[in-house]
Homo-oligomer: A and B are copies of this chain.
Amino acid sequence: MQPYNYPSKYLENAVEEFAKLPGIGRRTALRLVLHLLNKPKEEVEQFSATLNEMVQNIHFCSICHNISDNDICSICSSTSRDKTTICVVETIKDVMSIENTMQYKGLYHVLGGVINPMEGVGPADLNIESLVNRLKSNDINEVIMALSATTEGDTTNFYIYKKIKDYNIVVTTLARGVAFGNELEYTDEITLGRALLNRVKFNNSFSVE
């Protein structure tokens, strides 16, 4: 694609800013900026004010590293959550996904990613130390490892497991198997193999309902 000849440097700057966002190229960025230009000035100022307000006011929970409006997030400070179970996830999005299942009432711990030497992410870049400290100083019965079902996720699982295996805490991982709605014909052999090995008694498979 040819570079555009922008009729205005202000327009160009705004397009460049939008094009920095993931999955947004220059063409889409231009469409978004022209859309904003068609709006009243106040709406665009509102847009930028909201972003500024967010970065200035948002906190990360000092216990679980989830996003929060306060120093301690609403999940960690809730009295109705099960404080003996911690679910370890990669990102804030994963917390939101698990919360949406309405199946989990424990606490979380957001690692901020997984160990990935190829991308230069080592254990020190993740919130692993604070997890170990939480497990040491609190009365935790179970840690649920809910990381991606990838090599990097598995590596991180093992790394954390080795650190905490002496603490007398049950460590579990998410069940792996054929996803709901998937046809066997299109399920890859690793998933199918694991699903066979970890087969469950018929009644059990409906126990969450």
Contact = CB atoms under 8 A, between A and B. Distances in A.
Interface of A: 2, 4-11, 13-14, 17, 20-24, 28, 30-37, 41, 44-59, 66-69, 73-75, 91-93, 95-96, 99-100
Contacts of A7: 66-68, 73-75, 92, 95-96
Contact of A53 (B2, B10, B22, B58): B10
B22 A46 contact: no
**By DSSP majority rule, is chain A's interface helix, strand, loop, or mixed?**
helix
Contacts of A56: 41
Contacts of A73: 7
Contacts of A10: 50, 53-54, 57-58, 69
A30 B95 CA distance: 13
A136 to B, nearest CB: 25
B96 A58 contact: no
Given A2-B100, A10-B50, A10-B54, 13 more contacts: A4-B96, A7-B66, A8-B67, A8-B68, A10-B69, A30-B96, A36-B54, A36-B55, A37-B54, A37-B67, A44-B54, A45-B52, A47-B51
Contacts of A35: 21-22
Q: Which 7 A-B pairs have the closest CB atoms?
A: A48-B48, A10-B54, A14-B54, A44-B55, A7-B67, A41-B55, A48-B51
Given A6-B96, A34-B92, A96-B5, A14 B50 contact: yes
B37 A58 contact: yes
Nearest to A56: B41
A55 B10 CA distance: 8
A55 B3 CA distance: 23
Contact of A47 (B6, B17, B36, B74): B17
Contacts of A41: 55-56
A7 B75 CA distance: 9
